[in-house]
Amino acid sequence: MIANGHPLRLVVSREKQDSVIRGLYLVTDGGERLAERVEAAIDGGARVVQYRDKAGDGGRRFAVGQELRELCAKRGVPFIVNDDLELAKALKADGLHLGQEDGDPREARRILGPGGIIGVSTHSLREALAAQAAGADYIGFGAMYPTASKDIEHLPGPQTLAAIREQIAIPVVAIGGISRDNGGAVIDAGADALAVISAVLSAPDPALAAAELSLLFNRRAAPPRGSVLTVAGSDSGGGAGIQADLKTITLLGSYGSSVLTALTAQNTRGVSAIHGVPPEFVAEQLDAVLSDIHVDTVKTGMLFSAGTIAALADKLSEYRRRIVVVDPVMIAKGGAPLIDRHAVEILKERLLPRTYLLTPNIPEAERLTGMTIADEEGMQEAARRLHRLGARNVLVKGGHLLSGDSVDILFDGSAFHRYATPRILSKNTHGTGCTYASAIATFLARGEPLREAISRAKQFITAAIRHGHPLGKGHGPVNHYLAAQEFKDR
């Protein structure tokens, strides 16, 4: 393009994009084993650590701060001190976060030097613009929601954040009452980072809690959003297994990679032969993918043998993959067994404790628990028992019940959540379980929290069954393509 005889040059400001203030912003509490919990949170995806301790004496605050400073330096995570400029200077912190009455950002800049990161808490557009004009590198803005960590005087919420976002050129850290289930709305409103305390540090597993929150940021990524690894068997008929997984992942807008555990000679009428992949080669495939490609979620299907399950559990631990959706495939649609008794025991001992979400249908839940399930109360009890075996969340699928709606029940360790859709009578249901679990893993990878990911996946699989493809002479496959076409505008 030419203007006034001179070529125009497109200049893109990268100030905000290149800032280290983005993603999960962890604020410390005053609890025990702080360094251990902070390190776990960093493992799970925390990108910034802010040291906040207003109750401790000077010597203790320095000692704890020094331990955290060394930890953050080792892990390559910016270390920010809350409010205390002298402590930040003494600890050689990467930056300082100031409240509205805790000092002047200009003075902090002078003391910490041009490379210091300066943040300011704000509650309105006026305060945010003032902090930006004073040279702050980022602002904290909130509170988004009520919180137990302090009395809330200002509650602008996500709506106000969205309203001011276009007028603020520096990163915005949303603060106050943020959790896995409401954080997505805050990111959608324009937050560059989410500040959390108890949502991570008070969790039984801070690394998993941090991983859940970190995934929410994928909702703003360029397509394909997120990355899903499927570990499953091949269906030569294309309706289930790794073929169904990759169709689902791709059509729902994520990136799919795969590890094969077994080859099946299979069509719509059933499985006629199975050729298991040696566990050593399964491990080689896992190394190849996980050492090179970022994987947000792992989805498992047919694992076939005890050796394969053990190899998978080892690699999940080695590569610290925490968001693992396990579809415990045991019996093919036509009735062929896909896993032996010893493998079931290894699955319970080694894989369930590493499972984020377990998605058994009723026959699978019965085999894993030894129960007989005839109604929703039985589904709830099975979910409780499977949770006690180590799965963090359990979704028992009720498609095999013969009456009423098709109801699935999620148990998250503290409460039950019910997902119901009208039952569709169709013989074209091949690949239902594979597709459903893959859809959940995909929505998680795209940045949806667990309950919303299940809800959306339930809608997707219901559409896929409704559009079931009358292919072959047996149970035809669900229709991934038409379900995705129907779903893309939601």
State the Cα–Cα distance between residues 18 and 167, nearest whole angstrom.
18
State the Cα–Cα distance between residues 60 and 80, nearest whole angstrom.
17
CB 117 within 8 A of CB 21: yes
- Is there a catalytic annotation at residue 473? no
- Within the chain, how many helices (H) and strands (E) appear? 18, 19
CB 149 within 8 A of CB 198: yes
- Is there a catalytic annotation at residue 72? no
- Is there a catalytic annotation at residue 150? no
**Helix, coil or strand: residue 89:** helix
Catalytic residue among 247, 399, 434, 447: 434
Catalytic residue among 397, 398, 442, 462: 397
DSSP H/E element including 172: strand 172-175
- Is there a catalytic annotation at residue 462? no
CB 95 within 8 A of CB 117: yes
Catalytic residue among 237, 307, 431, 476: 431
Tokens for 183? 């954080």
Tokens for 85? 């400029």
- Is there a catalytic annotation at residue 241? no
Catalytic residue among 261, 264, 432, 435: 432
**Helix, coil or strand: residue 275:** strand
State the Cα–Cα distance between residues 399 and 278, nearest whole angstrom.
33
Half-sphere exposure of 261 (CA within 13 A, CB side): 24
Catalytic residue among 433, 447, 468, 476: 433
Q: Which of 129, 126, 115, 119 is nearest to 99 (CA)?
A: 119
- Is there a catalytic annotation at residue 433? yes
Helices 432-445 and 241-251, axial angle in degrees (round to 10): 40
Catalytic site positions: 397, 429, 431-434
